[in-house]
Structure 1
Amino acid sequence: MIDISCSIVVFHNPVKEIKNAINSFLTGTSNVKLYLVDNSVDDNLRFTFDSFSPLVEYIYNGKNLGYGSAHNIAIQKTINSSRYHLVLNPDVEFDATVLNRLIKLMEQNPDIGLVMPKILYPNGSMQYLCKILPSPAHLFLRRFIPGPLKVLFKKTLDKYELRNKDYNSIMETPNLSGCFMFIRTSVFNEVGMFDERFFLYMEDTDLCRRINERYKTIYYPIVSIIHGYGKASYKNFRIMKLHLKSSIKYFNKWGWFNDKERGAVNTIAISSSYMLKNKIKGITNKVNAGTQEAVTINMGATRQVQINLN
């Protein structure tokens, strides 16, 4: 049984960027397997990665299958042979301690299905990638309202990205980014893999939502990673159309305005009180010192989440 399998989907990404992501994964722990799934028009990357490492399997699709469909090829190969699976973007880097600390968290908390660490820009600033479940209004405001006018909707957009929460605190969050999804592999047998109706965008939100229905989906800022995060759909009209199509499919699936589950989940996420800010430093120090600690996170009146930190 492999400890961690990993899938990276590429589409004409720079070789150096891909190498950095692969090396980050391979230096994290020894019992691993990585699948590099290539959606590019040609297989030029084969010459670099086909014999890059015995732990890396290069898969060329011959066409662009889409983000989720390509990841599913790798997930299908490991669904019964790995303990954890990492969905990883090629523009991500992290140090060697991250994976083992996430494994430890998951082993101590079998009711966690998905974990996302703190995500930082290359300059060290925060990426606010913890979100509530989207409504049509959220996506319209983020994508189509011109930048200067977004200040008029700042409160709504900040609430969507949970910016009123302490991003140095552990949070149970219903909508986590697809750039780094550390998933208990057995979860796929219960909730399914990526929904292949989403060619690009919204597939991570959809999968996270399905996992959150049965397991905890946790933001875990005790560890952090670096993510390039170019927001391609804000720069490219064709990619913007793909984002719009996926959004329509998402709301056709889950509901446009009559989504009672979204309302209930978001109310809890927005109103919850998580860990107190002034206790974060002490808890982090205890974790680093190896002291056993269990943190209780209050999820409003309906839920209480206990996280064993080591």
Structure 2
Amino acid sequence: HVVLNPDIYWDGDVIGELTKYMDRNPDVGQVMPKIIYPSGETQYLCKLLPTPIDLIGRRFMPIRSYRKKHDYNYELHWTNYDKIMEVPLLSGCFMFLRVSVLEKVGGFDDRYFMYAEDFDLCRRIGEISKTVFYPFVSVTHVYEKGSYKNKKLLKYHIQSIIKYFNKWGWFFDTKRGARNKKCIQTIKLL
């Protein structure tokens, strides 16, 4: 099953390549290709499971150097996005999902209108199967950042983030810490 934003496009057989990868790896429940800007630059959309500080700080912190340093770790910039890696949080802009896993986790949580619904779904998928970044095919994402430009969308974004942390835990989330630590250790071994 594919879920994608309307501002995604690609050339070539991306779907076929991802299907072959999923067929060869039955333990993978979700895979995301490399996501690029129209300019060809990589979009850093592989992330660790967020803390409230991760999301609030990167959105509202006015100090650019802080955000850049923070994002280097939170968005896994140090991996170079050039290898297959299991990542706890993949962007919802392009979600290639194994139907049996999607059914097992119950699909999207209806409590989310938009924003953070991908965080929640990816996290639930990651509890029963692998969530994998696959860099050998790419799609282009125009990436409008609507909630940065529109107050109504910002309101929806904030409401969704509150719902996410109410569900998974604000500061006391042992699963988050363990999953992030495992991700970092595994990638360093690649």
Amino acid at match of 2:132: I
Change (3 A) 1:153 1:88: closer
Q: Given that residues 114 and 211 in structure 1 are in contact (C-alpha distance below 8 angstroms), is that contact kept between their aligned partners in structure 2?
A: yes
Q: Normalising by structure 1, what TM-score?
A: 0.59
- 1:155 is displaced (CA, Å) by 2.5
SS in 1 for 2:38: coil
The answer to whether structure 1 residue 228 and structure 2 residue 106 are counterparts is no
- 1:143 is displaced (CA, Å) by 1.3
Pairing partner for 2:36 from 110, 120, 142: 120
Counterpart CA distance in 2 for 1:274 and 1:168 is: 13
Q: Given that residues 169 and 274 in structure 1 are in contact (C-alpha distance below 8 angstroms), is that contact kept between their aligned partners in structure 2?
A: no
Pairing partner for 1:109 from 25, 32, 52: 25
Larger radius of gyration: 1
Counterpart CA distance in 2 for 1:272 and 1:103 is: 24
Identity of aligned residues (%): 55
The answer to whether structure 1 residue 142 and structure 2 residue 58 are counterparts is yes
The answer to whether structure 1 residue 211 and structure 2 residue 89 are counterparts is no
> Deviation digits for residues 51-89 of structure 1, max 9, x if unmatched?
xxxxxxxxxxxxxxxxxxxxxxxxxxxxxxxxxx00011
- 1:141 is displaced (CA, Å) by 1.1
Q: Normalising by structure 2, what TM-score?
A: 0.96
More helix by proportion, 1 or 2? 2
Aligned to 2:111: 197
Amino acid at match of 1:167: Y
More strand by proportion, 1 or 2? 1
- 1:202 is displaced (CA, Å) by 0.3
The answer to whether structure 1 residue 256 and structure 2 residue 185 are counterparts is no
Aligned to 1:241: 155
Pairing partner for 2:83 from 153, 169, 175: 169
Aligned to 1:278: none
Q: Given that residues 58 and 70 in structure 2 are in contact (C-alpha distance below 8 angstroms), is that contact kept between their aligned partners in structure 1?
A: no
Counterpart CA distance in 1 for 2:97 and 2:80 is: 23
Amino acid at match of 1:168: D
What count of residue pairs does the alignment treat as equivalent?
Answer: 190
Amino acid at match of 1:89: N
Q: Given that residues 61 and 67 in structure 2 are in contact (C-alpha distance below 8 angstroms), is that contact kept between their aligned partners in structure 1?
A: no
CA RMSD of aligned residues (A): 1.3
Q: Which runs of 5+ in 2 are unaligned?
A: none
- 1:154 is displaced (CA, Å) by 3.0
